[in-house]
Structure 1
């Protein structure tokens, strides 16, 4: 649902969900393989977005959006996403 807000890199998703980066990457790979999301290389980052070309995906996400309208966790994640600093990905850069 976060990717409906905007395209994001794995470190942004990780910062909101606060789970292992490897877990986020694994789930993103499954979603990409199934055609739900797509990715695009942007320099050293991979940016993930909803596959808007797949009408089925849009329909399903519309249903989820309605069913989860009052979900506390989803609301909290949206707040975290809105307040995410631009420098979030720098913590994963090599020093």
Structure 2
């Protein structure tokens, strides 16, 4: 998730872009979003994730392993295969992956 110029949460649409959190619900238009900004969160894996992987989002908002030089958004606690739920420790903009 990102925050737009109106102060509203919006889906991050650029792969690897900085994010401020992970959407926790599925709000309809005009309804409030619940966004986790730190701590543990479930995420949809966009590729196979293993415990210890540092993650970023892809253009669809799914978690993928961050490559060297990318900004990590969290660390995988419980891995998953693509399309399934993984658990991460969310640390938005937690640093560049070496």
**Normalising to structure 1: TM-score of the pair?**
0.27
In terms of fraction of residues, the more helix-rich structure is 1
Q: Choose 1 or 2 for highest CA Rg.
A: 1
| Higher RCO (C-alpha 8 Å, min separation 6) | 1
**Normalising to structure 2: TM-score of the pair?**
0.26
